[in-house]
């Protein structure tokens, strides 16, 4: 019975992840009061060298809890959060999302300079959006992998993948059980 429940949970997570295949997460992007998230997403796309239009964005919004800064509002007007909330952008087509991710990879180190955002320029990151379960699993995999010296741990289309070193086979991580099996005996569990 427990196996069936775990399988159903896994299937639900896979379906949820499939619904997020057109979404990207933009993190560490300065946030201001009254900003237009769609405009901000267009600015980021432009900074990454993509020419997309407003109609290519289905939705864009800041998600997460807003943490108020203890900074003096007189010296830092418009800056509220200590750490800006992430900007979640849903694009109209998957190929746009893939192009945005590829552009972000090729322009690593892009900053918020020239985006007319408040505060000093900050390096921002564009990643594919993961379900809560996959996000937690990915963080755990990176922590364990870094501790054990694994060179590559990444996501592709919502799947968590790992490779110990170049030339090794790629391991698919779908659950905490996979984490234990893969990182304890990497050569036996990867296909």
What number is the average pLDDT over the span 170-174? 92
Residue 27 lies in domain: 21-128
- Range with lowest mean pLDDT among 86-90, 112-116, 176-180: 112-116
The verdict on 32 and 91 lying in the same domain is yes
In DSSP terms, 30 is beta-bridged to none
Going edge to edge, which strands form the sheet with 86-91? 57-63, 86-91, 23-27, 125-128
pLDDT number for residue 33: 85
Distance CA 164, CA 148 (A): 9
- What pTM does this model have? 0.80
In DSSP terms, 111 is beta-bridged to 123
Looking at the chain, the whole-number percentage of residues with pLDDT higher than 70 is 89
Q: What is the pLDDT of residues 13-72, one digit of tens each?
A: 999 999 999 999 999 999 888 899 999 999 999 999 999 999 999 999 999 887 765 554
In CATH, what number is assigned to the domain containing residue 86? Answer: 3.30.70.1820
Q: Is residue 14 part of a domain?
A: no
Domain end among 111, 128, 145: 128
The verdict on 116 and 183 lying in the same domain is no
Q: Is residue 3 part of a domain?
A: no
How many domains does the chain fold into?
Answer: 2
pLDDT number for residue 73: 47
> In this structure, what DSSP letter does residue 111 have?
B
The verdict on 150 and 124 lying in the same domain is no
CB-CB contact of 147 with 124 (8 Å): no
Domain end among 128, 144, 177: 128
Name the helix (H) or strand (E) containing 26: strand 23-27
> In this structure, what DSSP letter does residue 33 have?
T
The verdict on 124 and 137 lying in the same domain is no
């Amino acid at each position: 019975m427990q196996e069936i429940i775990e399988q159903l949970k896994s299937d639900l997570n896979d379906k949820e992840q499939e619904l997020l295949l057109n979404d990207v997460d933009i993190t560490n992007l300065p946030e201001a009061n009254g900003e237009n998230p769609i405009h901000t997403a267009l600015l980021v796309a432009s900074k990454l060298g993509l020419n997309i239009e407003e109609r290519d964005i289905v939705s864009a919004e800041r998600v997460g809890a807003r943490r108020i800064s203890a900074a003096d509002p007189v010296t830092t007007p418009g800056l509220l959060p200590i750490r800006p909330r992430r900007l979640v952008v849903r694009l109209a087509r998957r190929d746009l999302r893939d192009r945005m991710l590829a552009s972000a990879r090729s322009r690593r180190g892009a900053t918020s300079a020239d985006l007319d955002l408040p505060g000093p320029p900050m390096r921002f990151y564009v990643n594919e959006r993961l379900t809560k379960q996959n996000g937690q699993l990915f963080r755990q995999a990176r922590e364990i992998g870094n501790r054990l010296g694994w060179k590559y741990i990444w996501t592709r289309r919502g799947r968590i993948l790992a490779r110990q070193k170049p030339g090794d086979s790629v391991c698919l991580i779908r659950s905490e059980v996979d984490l234990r099996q893969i990182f304890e005996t990497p050569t036996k569990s990867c296909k």
